[in-house]
Amino acid sequence: EVAAFECLKMSREAMRNFHKKGGIKNIVEKVNDHSFYFLSRRDLKVTGFKHREWRQLVVWKKEGENKLIVCYNDTDALEETHPRDPNVVVASARTTWEYERLPEVDGIPQTRVKLVARVDVAGSVPTFVMNRLVRSVGKSLISMRKKFDKS
């Protein structure tokens, strides 16, 4: 359930939250049963900053019965169908999520989530902006926990 939450980028709830958090454009194109292209344009909400866009290939793979790995990597595969906007800065990221099903506790499902990320929003970005962006990642992890907490 938690892993599916990460892969459902176009659900109504995900789109509502995306726009609340400065999201401008969100495109998901299925490649096959284990991957999709993900184009995401965001407003960093800093006066004078151009919008940032990430163009990524998302791939997921089950490892054994209890583990799922989801990787986001930069891609140029969307160039033909979605040309770059010269007024938007293309950012870069590599993100890996690992979801591991743990034994239930008192009948309540448990999942361990690990996140490793490298993000380059491109350009000269002041420290206060980067600190705010890092806090937003933490907030998204907290909201995931609240959504699935059944204790």
Rounded CA gap, 31 and 37, in Å? 7
Task: Look up tokens 């609240």; give the residue.
Answer: 146
Full-prediction pTM beyond 0.85?
Answer: no
Q: What is the per-residue pLDDT across 35-44, written as a single tens digit (0 to 9) for each?
A: 999 999 988 8
Q: Are 58 and 38 in contact (CB under 8 A)?
A: yes
Helix (H) or strand (E) holding 141: helix 127-148
Rounded CA gap, 68 and 28, in Å? 20
Mean pLDDT of 27-35: 90
pLDDT at 142: 79
pLDDT bucket at 111, cuts 50 / 70 / 90: confident
CA atoms within 13 A of residue 118's CA, in its CB half-sphere: 5
Rounded CA gap, 74 and 38, in Å? 9
Of residues 6 and 74, the one with the higher pLDDT is 74
Mean pLDDT of 10-32: 75
pLDDT at 19: 62
For residue 125, give the DSSP letter: -
Rounded CA gap, 74 and 42, in Å? 16
Rounded CA gap, 72 and 46, in Å? 25
Of 24-28, 55-59, 81-85, least confident by mean pLDDT is 24-28
Our CA angle for 94, 96, 98, nearest 5°, is 175
**Selection from 119, 86, 113, 88 nearest residue 101 by Cα:** 113
pLDDT bucket at 74, cuts 50 / 70 / 90: very high
Tokens of 99: 């979801």
Q: What distance lies between CA 7 and its chain's CA centroid?
A: 9
Tokens of 45: 């909400």
